[in-house]
Amino acid sequence: MKKLSCLIMLCLSVVAVAQNTISKIPSNASIVATIKGKNLLQLMSMEEINNSFIGLETLKEMSRKNNDFKSLEDFGFNLGASSHYFFQANDSINYNAFIVPMKDVNKFEALVSSQGKKEIVSQNGVRTIQGQNESAIFWDASALVVVDASMNNYFFQDKTVMARYGLKSESAEAYDEEETIVESTEVYEEEVEETVIESTEVSEEVYEEEEIEETVIESTEDYNDNDDNYSYYDVYDANNKIKRELSENWATLKAIQILKQSPNRSILKNKSYLKSLDDNAEATLWVHDFGQLYSNVLGGLYFSELAGFDLGQMYANNGLSAKLLLENDRMELSTSYRMSDQMAESYKKMTSRKLNKKFLDYVNEDRMIGYMSYAMDTKSTLEEYPEILKSIYKNIPYYGEEAVLGLDMFSLLLDEAAVGEVLNGDLLFLLSGISKQEVTYTTYEYNDDYEYIEVEKTKTETIPDFLLMASTEDSSMFTKLIKYAVNKEMVTFDNGYYTFVIPKSPLSLHFVIKDGIAFLGTSKAEMRKITTGTFDAKLSSKHKKRMLDNSTSLFVSAEQLASQLPIEEMGLDGSGKLEWFLNTSEDAYMTASKIKGNTVETKMVVGVPGSEKNALKYIFTIIDKFAK
């Protein structure tokens, strides 16, 4: 069973399917992910996948029991369509479900039979493995469904719910007290219908009252022996057994329901989901509402109440869609994050500042390994963030009013405008190099007379060369700090800038304020050019645009990193695989846009080397290289 489950996960991660399996996902799913086999097989043939490390190892593993599989297609899945994962939650249970379309159900059942001695049986018009006690696995001629269920324990802390399912209090004081157990199968059936049944068309066929009734009564009778010696641990184990049986039963019912899902109750009726679709993407992800998700999963947890975080309130009406594009020259992961009106208004204020254009006068991309730019408005952030925190702290048990009052006092005592003038909120970090530096250090050794003596030695350290820039409209606070540090002989002044030597470290930090910019860096040469106005800047238009047009941007030059990172000296890689990866990699970057309407767009792009035909083959090449 474990091998079969692993195989299903592998097929989901390698290739996927598009018969009409999307219609099997319920309309109220919280998360939906899809892998499109058709798009993937246009990038890489089935023969190439079979001959890859992943393909060969899978075929080898699955062929150990009297079968000789030649292709992943021999497993019976339709590898040219779209496979799906979805998450669905309510107050009592969470479902993680996978849907994989079938191409040849006979081949799949032959695979199942070859992996174990368990019998394949029919149940409610679909097929399953007799006696399975892990995830619920069901299939028909069109699709395989795997459902893993986890109970929300806080749901079973309610006394009415506990009585309904024959549970007893697990508190140390109450474990030996007698409780009246309400055996109401009518209430139970109502609960199952509320929790599980979403398609009335299949309810009569799927849910058999006698089977449900028997499960509940057995669990209750097994538990209620009213034994005076019934300990806390017995109660805990008995409760777990009941909840485990419920979880397995509900997972089974959910799997059968998915296979018989009515199309008119599917996710295709959800307009938000339909807007997230992209036919060109190899994989997609959609999250309906983070607030609802957090409320269902974390809503009643003791930790959540104790900490006072009402994440459901904070992220209400916030959703996300993402897509993965594997192209000939690059792979791109883009996301669209949709905020509530209230959060969008706050975020718009916090990201209202643009990156200081003067920063660009101190960038030379010829000696730049990478950079990170960040543009926020400090004043607005300090004003808006306490308001956001109020929404998640105001309902904290016992101290909600005090928490809100404390945040109000924090805002009253803090001069947001003054702090915003000292540090405006826009930053640019440049990694301009990696250098080796010889440093001295002290150790202890025995001399010829077996005396423990102090010995000074030298070693070579690898240190980064970086430059950090931050805008400031009021440098008086920095000036006071520098004056204090000079008086305490913590820093020295030379060549127009200040230097702070970090104790027991080869790293020295240099600092200066010029033209409304606070500079902090490790390179004496660069700091000298900054103070003398002789910095030789060079920056292409694509980097300027990424920095200035976005609230955040990140870039790594693979060529510069490969040429400067001393892999051998640092002992990072003895096999040569890391060196190969760096030498064959292309540049990568990430951006997060300014908010437009209620939406923030992010994009992460990794280049594909010219030696590879497309991004998918490049991924498989990397796996093959590092796995062998």
pLDDT-derived band at 328, boundaries 50, 70, 90: very high
- pLDDT tens per residue, range 455-503: 887 777 778 899 999 999 888 888 888 888 888 888 888 888 999 887 7
pLDDT-derived band at 579, boundaries 50, 70, 90: confident
Instruction: Report the C-alpha gap between 268 and 103 in whole angstroms.
Output: 23
- pLDDT over 70 (residue 95): yes
Instruction: Report the C-alpha gap between 129 and 98 in whole angstroms.
Output: 17
- pLDDT over 60 (residue 92): yes
- pLDDT over 60 (residue 451): yes
pLDDT-derived band at 303, boundaries 50, 70, 90: very low
Task: State residue 37's pLDDT score.
Answer: 93
The candidate with the shortest Cα–Cα distance to 92, out of 251, 259, 304, is: 251
Give the sign of the dihedral formed by CA 390, CA 391, CA 392, CA 394: positive
Instruction: Report the C-alpha gap between 324 and 334 in whole angstroms.
Output: 7
The rounded mean pLDDT for the chain is 80
**What does residue 562 show for φ and ψ, rounded to 5 degrees?**
-65, -35
The most confident of 201-205, 346-350, 411-415, by mean pLDDT: 346-350
- pLDDT tens per residue, range 160-172: 999 999 998 876 5
Residue 127, H or E segment: strand 126-129
DSSP string, 411-472: HHHS-HHHHHHH--SEEEEEEEEEEEEEEEEEEEEE-TTS-EEEEEEEEEEEEEEEEEEEE-
Task: State residue 409's pLDDT score.
Answer: 61
Tokens of 410: 């924090």
Residue 94, amino acid: N
pTM of the model: 0.79
Residue of 104 and 448 predicted with greater confidence: 104
Running DSSP on this structure, what letter comes out for residue 599?
E
